[in-house]
Structure 1
C-alpha cells in the first residue's frame, strides 16, 4: 500500500502544491487545516509521516509536535516541520519539540520530497531486527554483543540500550529528555545531565583514537548517530 502522509497546513495554495507533488510521487495524502484536526487525524488514520506547518490556527505546530511525541500511539511518528522561520533558535525549538527534520519556506518540492523519503527510511521500525548496523558498528541484539570493525565493543546495560535506540533511529536528533524517556523510561526520574555521562561512556567504548566518532552533538538540541557524524563535529 502507498505510504500515507498527513499534511497540516492552513494556506490553501501550499496545501494544493504539497498534495500535487506528493500524489505524483505515489503517496496518499490526508489534510488538516488546524492543530486540533491534525491531532485527531494522526490518532485515527495513523499516517506514515506528518508534514506540519509551524503557524496554525487553534494549536501551533510546535504544540502539535509535542503532543504527538507524548502520546504512545504517535510517539514514533516521523514529523517534518514546515515554516517561514529560518533562524537557528527556531530550528532548535522545532527539533527539541520532537521534529525529525525542518524545512524552511519557500522550499523546493524536489528537496522536500527527498527529505520525506530520507526521514521515512530512517524511521522504519528496526526493533524486530536481530542485527542493527551503522557504518562499521554492528549490534547483535539476540546475542547482546556489539562490534566495531574487527573488535568487540564492551558496553554496560544502559550504554547498550542507548546505542540500540540510536541504531534504530539513525540520523534523528534526540534531546536529553527524549533519550531519558526512551532509554530509562518515563516513570524513572533521572537528571537530564545523566544522559551526557552515558554518552561519554558510550563514546569511550565505541571510539579508538584513530576512529571517527559516530555520535553527533547538536548544540542546544541533543545527540544523533550517523556514520558520517565526524564530518559535522
Structure 2
C-alpha cells in the first residue's frame, strides 16, 4: 500500500504491477493520495483501513474480475457510494456496458491518456461530494413524501425501490445505470436531450465520437418500455440532436 499526505484518496486495483506503479506515481504528482491492490483480497484489506474517495478498478483480473468486485461494492452497506471508474479493453464495448450496469460511475479504455483519467477522477469525485452535500436535503424530501414515484403512460418508476412497475402492477428490476438514466429522462420529459447532456448526467463528461454507451443504454431501456423496441414511440431518436422521451408524466408524492 502506498499513500501520500494529500486530502483526496484513490485506490487503484489492478493485477499489473507496472500499470499500478505508473498510475499511482502520476496521481501522486498531481496531488492525490494513492493506495494499491493487486487483487480482490488486497482491495478489501485496504478498504478496512481507509475508505477512498474513488476506486480505479481494472475489469480483466484473475480470480475475481472487476465486474464482480464492482457488484460487491455496490451491494455493500459501507462502500456502496464510493465512485468507481473501470479500466476496460478498448475493443470491448460489452465490458463497458456490463461495468456501467453493475454500478460503475465511469470508464476509461486502455491504453489511456493519464490526463484524461485524472479529469475523470476529479469529475466523479466532484459529483460524489455534491451528492453527499445534498443527501440530507434529499432524505428530508423523501420523508416528507416528495417525489416517490414517476408515472408515465402505463408505467410507474418507483423512486424508493428503484424498480419499474407495469400496468399489471408487476415490478421489473432495473440496473443502477438504467434507473438513473430513465429517471433523468422522465424529469426532462418532452424536451430534446442531446447525447452530450445524457453523457454529462451519467458520467460527468461529453460523449466522444465513437462512444456508444448512451445509445446502448437507450436500446436496453426501449426493450423494457416499448411495445416494439425497433419502432419506438416513447423514447424517440432525433436526427442530429439526440433523444426525446414523449409521455404524459405525472409526479407522485
TM-score tier, shorter chain, comes to: 0.5 to 0.7
Q: Is 1:6 equivalent to 2:6 in the alignment?
A: no
Instruction: Tell me what 1:123 maps to.
Output: 128
Q: Is 1:159 equivalent to 2:150 in the alignment?
A: yes
User: How far has the Cα of 1:14 moved from its partner?
Assistant: 0.8
Q: Is 1:81 equivalent to 2:86 in the alignment?
A: yes
Alpha-carbon distance in 1 for matches of 2:110, 2:64: 20
From 183, 208, 212, give the equivalent of 2:192.
Answer: 212
User: How far has the Cα of 1:126 moved from its partner?
Assistant: 2.7
From 47, 56, 62, give the equivalent of 1:51.
Answer: 56
Instruction: Tell me what 1:65 maps to.
Output: 70
Unaligned runs of 5+ in 1: 133-139, 146-154, 161-178, 224-229
Which structure has the bigger radius of gyration?
2
Taking structure 2 as the reference length, the TM-score comes to 0.60
Q: CA RMSD in A?
A: 4.0
Count of residue pairs brought into register by the alignment:
187
From 96, 108, 112, give the equivalent of 1:107.
Answer: 112
The Cα offsets for residues 115-162 of structure 1, whole Å up to 9 and x where unpaired, read as 111111122253553778xxxxxxx949979xxxxxxxxx853239xx
Secondary structure of 1:52's partner? strand
Given that 1:50 and 1:77 are in contact with CA atoms closer than 8 Å, whether structure 2 keeps it comes out as yes
Which residues in structure 2 correspond to 1:114-193 (within 5 Å)? Answer: 114-129=119-134, 141=141, 157-159=148-150, 183-184=160-161, 190-192=171-173
Q: 1:43 to 1:191 in 2, by over 3 A?
A: farther
Unaligned runs of 5+ in 2: 1-5, 152-156, 164-169, 199-213, 223-237, 244-253
Secondary structure of 2:34's partner? strand
Q: 1:144 to 1:205 in 2, by over 3 A?
A: farther
Secondary structure of 1:219's partner? helix
Given that 1:35 and 1:64 are in contact with CA atoms closer than 8 Å, whether structure 2 keeps it comes out as yes
Alpha-carbon distance in 2 for matches of 1:79, 1:56: 16
Secondary structure of 1:31's partner? strand
User: How far has the Cα of 1:203 moved from its partner?
Assistant: 5.2
Taking structure 1 as the reference length, the TM-score comes to 0.64
Q: 1:91 to 1:219 in 2, by over 3 A?
A: farther
Instruction: Tell me what 2:96 maps to.
Output: 91
User: How far has the Cα of 1:212 moved from its partner?
Assistant: 3.3
Q: 1:16 to 1:205 in 2, by over 3 A?
A: closer
The Cα offsets for residues 89-132 of structure 1, whole Å up to 9 and x where unpaired, read as 22111111211111111111011101111111122253553778
Given that 1:43 and 1:74 are in contact with CA atoms closer than 8 Å, whether structure 2 keeps it comes out as no
